[in-house]
A = this chain, B = another copy of it.
Amino acid sequence: MAEATSVRPLSAETIDTWNYEADVVIAGYGVAGASAAVEAARAGAEVLVLERAGGWGGAASLAGGFIYLGGGTALQKALGFEDTPANMKTFMMAALGPGADEEKITDYCEGSADHYNWLVECGVPFKESFYGQPGWETPFDDGLMYSGGENSAPFSTIATPAPRGHIPQMADKKVGEKGGGYMLMKPLVDTATALGVQAQYDMRVQTLITDASGRVVGVQAKQYGKDVFVRARKGVVLATGSFAYNKEMVESFAPRLIGRPGAAIEEHDGRAIRMAQALGADLAHMDATEVAFFGDPQMMVRGILVNGRGQRYVNEDTYPGRIGQLTLLQNDNQAYLIIDEEAYEEANTTPTSTPFFRFQPKWVAETVEELESEMGLPEGTLQATVEVYNKHAASGQDPVLGKKSEWVKPIGSPVAALDLRNFTAGFTLGGLRTNTDSEVLHVSGDPIPGLFAAGRCTAGVCAWGYASGTSLGDGSFFGRRAGISAARG
């Protein structure tokens, strides 16, 4: 591989020969790039996508495929769930902040039902069935589930719960198989291709090219190790994903993720963010991170999660990503699951349990006192936690953290503890600051002419919190905007 070039912008005057040329040049063929390509092509632009890997897909095609949509989508309605843009916004502002971008979220919620129709019209299949069990993903091919803790404390009392995780259907999917993301990406790329969108692969973008006025007019890339210059007559769209695999950027901005990138791909090197920063682009929410937690949701709801001091800190029936964030970011990545034998067996024999997440207990004892001692927790700590929990659980209540009654049951004997310390991984949510037209904003507040961006190289609807589907959601939603804006030029 040829050595990387500086991220400092090049002057168009210095380019003798343009190797490729199009109206709209898109860096990255994941969900944001594909959505931008479709809309730019529909607006009449000649579109060229530059993809670093050997084929389209990005992180999206490897993902579960959740797209966070609501406000009354056709699927929500068909399955009997009521939702409005205002209700969706209330949830998103509460769950995705502090500091969430209200303008972006308002726009996203108001356009969400239409965005669902757009995806369907592009050929993305959604099965009309709802999955109501706790879990990261449906083990089947259901089209809808809760994906951000909407129906759990504290959000269930802030906004009317509605499931918004829309999952593309993988035909003939077997239990535990992945694939929703592929069934999102394939139709989008097919749609783009049918519209005449061209793609070049093994294209590592290196830096932006500007004209004398400062307008972005192209991209320099390495293709098969050689420098190539790509001219964009109308605009460049950056859609190259997060910076989860850029060690220096993670250390600088999201150091709790050092050594634990997850649900991202090595291509997520932050390069496009750097290229735009070199033009004075602004950033936002660089510390925000999605955090996956590898405890079995079916098991977690049937026990209690405690931190390194033996204290509960989260209602176990919430979105597992929220458990991950609270564990890594607020409890030093220390977590144990306390569960009695009966609940453990029940969780393991539930048909919807995910084998991938099944772990053996590390400690087992007849009493909580013994368990506490075996775990090395200070005397009395875990006992106090279980005693308070059991006292209220006897009447099906959890006044401390608000777990739903259906999952609240006193912890009996024998009792076990699963060691879930350092059991997290995640990807970054911060990036370039963009407006709702997906224009990249200069630190002066004005857009940088000719430059657009969407997906995880931008700060989207998430500021600190997360819900599954918000990445493919804002990536596709604001990817479309980027395509429309770039085609306008």
* Total chain A interface residues with beta-carbon distance under 8 A: 51
B379 and A7 contacting across the interface, CB-CB below 8 Å: no
Per-residue CB contact flags for chain A residues 91-125 toward chain B (1 = under 8 Å, else 0) read: 00000011100000000000000000000000000
Contacts of A78 in B (CB 8 A): none
Answer whether A379 and B401 are a contact pair too, CB < 8 Å, given A279-B280, A287-B287, A444-B8. no
- The reply on A251 being an interface residue by CB < 8 A is yes
A231 to B378, CA, bound (A): 64
A464 and B255 contacting across the interface, CB-CB below 8 Å: yes
A285 and B8 contacting across the interface, CB-CB below 8 Å: no
Contacts of A286 in B (CB 8 A): 253, 283, 286-287
- The reply on A442 being an interface residue by CB < 8 A is yes
- Of the candidates B8, B255, B378, B442, the one whose C-beta lies within 8 Å of that of A400 is B378
Answer whether A98 and B255 are a contact pair too, CB < 8 Å, given A277-B277, A312-B309, A444-B278. yes
- The reply on A387 being an interface residue by CB < 8 A is yes
Identify which of residues 218-276 in chain A touch chain B, using a CB-to-CB cut-off of 8 Å: 251-253, 255-256, 258, 274
Contacts of A379 in B (CB 8 A): 391-392, 399
- The reply on A132 being an interface residue by CB < 8 A is no
- The reply on A90 being an interface residue by CB < 8 A is no
- The reply on A157 being an interface residue by CB < 8 A is no
- Of the candidates B252, B282, B329, B400, the one whose C-beta lies within 8 Å of that of A277 is B282
B387 and A253 contacting across the interface, CB-CB below 8 Å: no
A91 to B425, CA, bound (A): 27
Summarize A's interface: helix, strand, loop or mixed: loop
A323 to B14, CA, bound (A): 56
- The reply on A367 being an interface residue by CB < 8 A is no
A487 to chain B, nearest CB (A): 27
Contacts of A278 in B (CB 8 A): 280, 442-444
Identify which of residues 291-321 in chain A touch chain B, using a CB-to-CB cut-off of 8 Å: 309, 311-313
- The reply on A384 being an interface residue by CB < 8 A is yes
A253 and B381 contacting across the interface, CB-CB below 8 Å: no
- Of the candidates B97, B252, B309, the one whose C-beta lies within 8 Å of that of A283 is B252
B255 and A97 contacting across the interface, CB-CB below 8 Å: yes
Contacts of A282 in B (CB 8 A): 252, 277
A331 to chain B, nearest CB (A): 8
Contacts of A6 in B (CB 8 A): 444, 446
A433 to B277, CA, bound (A): 13
- The reply on A414 being an interface residue by CB < 8 A is no
Contacts of A464 in B (CB 8 A): 255
Which residue from chain B places its CB closest to the CB of A380 in the assembled complex?
B388
Per-residue CB contact flags for chain A residues 152-170 toward chain B (1 = under 8 Å, else 0) read: 0000000000000000000
A388 and B381 contacting across the interface, CB-CB below 8 Å: yes
A99 and B258 contacting across the interface, CB-CB below 8 Å: yes
- The reply on A284 being an interface residue by CB < 8 A is yes
A154 to chain B, nearest CB (A): 10
- The reply on A463 being an interface residue by CB < 8 A is yes
- Of the candidates B98, B251, B401, B442, the one whose C-beta lies within 8 Å of that of A258 is B98
- Of the candidates B378, B444, B446, B459, the one whose C-beta lies within 8 Å of that of A392 is B378
- The reply on A385 being an interface residue by CB < 8 A is yes
Contacts of A433 in B (CB 8 A): 252
- The reply on A330 being an interface residue by CB < 8 A is yes
A282 to B380, CA, bound (A): 49
Which residue from chain B places its CB closest to the CB of A399 in the assembled complex?
B378
Which residue from chain B places its CB closest to the CB of A384 in the assembled complex?
B384
Which residue from chain B places its CB closest to the CB of A378 in the assembled complex?
B399
Per-residue CB contact flags for chain A residues 383-399 toward chain B (1 = under 8 Å, else 0) read: 01101100110000001
Question: 6 A-B pairs, CB-CB below 8 angstroms?
Answer: A6-B444, A309-B311, A378-B388, A379-B391, A380-B387, A380-B392
Given contacts A98-B256, A379-B392, A384-B387, 16 further A-B contacts (CB under 8 A): A6-B444, A7-B443, A99-B252, A99-B256, A252-B282, A252-B283, A252-B433, A255-B464, A279-B280, A283-B283, A283-B286, A330-B331, A379-B399, A380-B387, A380-B388, A380-B391
Q: Which 9 A-B pairs have the closest CB atoms?
A: A99-B255, A287-B287, A384-B384, A378-B399, A98-B255, A330-B330, A252-B284, A278-B280, A380-B388
